[in-house]
Amino acid sequence: MDRTERFYKIDQLLTERLVVPFDGLLAALEISRATLKRDLLYLRDRLNAPIVWDRAAGGYRYAGQAAPGGLRAGARFELPGLWFNAQEIHALLTMRHLLAGLDRGGLLGPHVQPLMARLNGLMGTADDSAEEVRKRVRVIGMAARKLDLAQFERVGSALLRRKRLLLTYHARGSGEVSEREVSPQRLVHYRENWYLDAWCHLRCGLRNFSVDAIERAEILEKPARSLVEKTLNKTLGAGYGIFSGSRLQWARLRFSPERSRWVASERWHPRQKGHLEADGAFLLELPYADDRELVMDILKYGPDCEVLGPDALRRRVCEQVAATQALYRQPTPA
């Protein structure tokens, strides 16, 4: 524990216990008597900490603090740095690096950079540098689409201010560009990309918008319509994946014994059910409302995943397999 950490520990002990004997400080800090005396002297003389020796109580306390949670009296003082020890700084830097890996668009970087600069400066008290954290932690992302930072910030601002948005939205599936007035409900980060759950006043219903497909966002000075989380989850979060829908069906998937070693420990949906069969295969059941994303995930397992039901889902997968086989049977152009 370095000196800065000891200062914070002394402050914490005096704040929580109100009166702390000299031997109690020694035991908590695990330092010599001479070092503790120097620390107390530095806190009082250099940082203006109102620490006094209370002979009647038999320990040190803050002047004027007489009850738990009471305010301190005396000179104001400020401890140096942030209230983090070396291990906590490492954890924060690691989390920031992980976040940067998820946030490939760099949307959050400008907002947290001042904090990261402060943390990097404090790393002088630790054994490793911020560069060492970046070098030792690797985040690999794929399929992240490019975002317009200005549009993202407007969406986020309207969401938190509870204002409506006027969107120019490009629906990639149909190629249609439309203008929508929406009441934003929540932002969702899913599979490397950002989505906006919102009430669409044009369609009079809940919709999910890919934020990178928003060509223009304008904040309107009109209060947003707010929906309870239960309603959002029922429509937008009940089924598998990001696609919405309230009419749920249950998919029954059987994975081969070889693949079940991985799938059995995976979380495909919060309400999923699964069990291992006698031969080592894994039977997975999960709800879905729109089968597009589920079909893609089934196909990536090839013959290691069998669709047991519903029949409509089984037919969809078979059609996709047949279409792929037909594509590869076509002769290669000369």
For 46, the token pair is 């250099």
Which of 62, 77, 96 represents a domain boundary (last residue)?
A: 62
311 HSE (CA, 13 A, CB side): 0
CA nearest to 205, candidates 245, 178, 263? 245
In this model, does residue 74 exceed pLDDT 50? no
Contact 75, 48 (CB under 8 A): yes
If phi > 0 it is left, if psi is from -120 to 50 it is alpha, else beta; for residue 252 that is beta
Cβ-based neighbours of 176, under 8 Å, separated by 6 or more: 170
Identify the burial level of 288 via C-beta atoms within 10 angstroms of its C-beta, where 0-12 means exposed, 13-18 middle and 19 or more buried: buried
Q: What is the CATH number of the domain that holds 171?
A: 2.30.30
Q: Does 43 share its domain with 108? A: no
Residue-wise pLDDT for 95-130, tens only, equals 666 666 555 555 565 655 666 666 665 555 444 555
In this model, does residue 92 exceed pLDDT 60? yes
> Is residue 290 domain-resident?
yes
Q: From CA 120, how far away is CA 183, in angstroms rounded?
A: 39
Query: Which amino acid appears at position 154 of this protein?
Result: R
The residue that leads in pLDDT, 245 or 319, is: 319
Give the three-class secondary structure for 260.
helix
Q: What average pLDDT does the segment 169-186 reach? A: 92
> Is residue 12 domain-resident?
yes
Query: Scanning the structure block, which residue is given the tokens 């076509």?
Result: 330
Q: Tell me which residue range forms the domain holding 111.
A: 86-136
In this model, does residue 70 exceed pLDDT 80? no
Q: Does 153 share its domain with 232? A: yes
> Is residue 242 domain-resident?
no
Contact 200, 206 (CB under 8 A): yes
Q: What is the CATH number of the domain that holds 18?
A: 1.10.10
Q: What is the pLDDT of residue 181?
A: 97
> Is residue 74 domain-resident?
no
Q: Does 159 share its domain with 231? A: yes
> Is residue 73 domain-resident?
no
For 254, the token pair is 């059987």
In this model, does residue 199 exceed pLDDT 90? yes
> Is residue 100 domain-resident?
yes
Mean pLDDT for the chain?
Answer: 82
Q: Does 212 share its domain with 274? A: no
Q: What is the pLDDT of residue 97?
A: 63
Contact 219, 165 (CB under 8 A): yes
Contact 235, 246 (CB under 8 A): yes
Q: Does 214 share its domain with 288? A: no
Number of H helices, E strands in the chain: 11, 11
Task: Check the CA dihedral 174-179-184-189 and report its sign.
Answer: positive
Q: What is the pLDDT of residue 102?
A: 54
- DSSP characters over 128-172: S-HHHHHHH------SPPP--HHHHHHHHHHHHHTEEEEEEEE-T
* Most confident among 28-32, 113-117, 146-150, 272-276 (mean pLDDT): 272-276
> Is residue 80 domain-resident?
no
For 192, the token pair is 């490397």
Query: Scanning the structure block, which residue is given the tokens 């919709």?
Result: 207
The DSSP code for 42 is H
Share above pLDDT 90 across residues of the chain, in percent, rounded to a whole number: 47
Q: What is the pLDDT of residue 297?
A: 93
Contact 214, 169 (CB under 8 A): yes
> Is residue 46 domain-resident?
yes
Q: How many domains does the chain have?
A: 4
Q: Does 127 share its domain with 160? A: no
Q: What average pLDDT does the segment 69-77 reach? A: 45
- Longest Cα separation, the chain: 99
Which of 62, 94, 113 represents a domain boundary (last residue)?
A: 62
Determine the distance from the C-alpha atom of residue 149 to the mean position of all C-alpha atoms in its chain, rounded to a whole number.
19
Q: From CA 243, how far away is CA 40, in angstroms rounded?
A: 61
In this model, does residue 145 exceed pLDDT 60? yes
If phi > 0 it is left, if psi is from -120 to 50 it is alpha, else beta; for residue 245 that is left
Least confident of 234-243, 280-289, 292-301, 321-330: 234-243
Q: Does 17 share its domain with 42? A: yes
Query: Scanning the structure block, which residue is given the tokens 């060509």?
Result: 215
Q: What is the pLDDT of residue 99?
A: 61
Q: Does 207 share its domain with 286? A: no
Give the three-class secondary structure for 214.
strand
Share above pLDDT 70 across residues of the chain, in percent, rounded to a whole number: 75
Contact 7, 39 (CB under 8 A): yes
Give the three-class secondary structure for 20.
strand
Which of 62, 78, 104 represents a domain boundary (last residue)?
A: 62
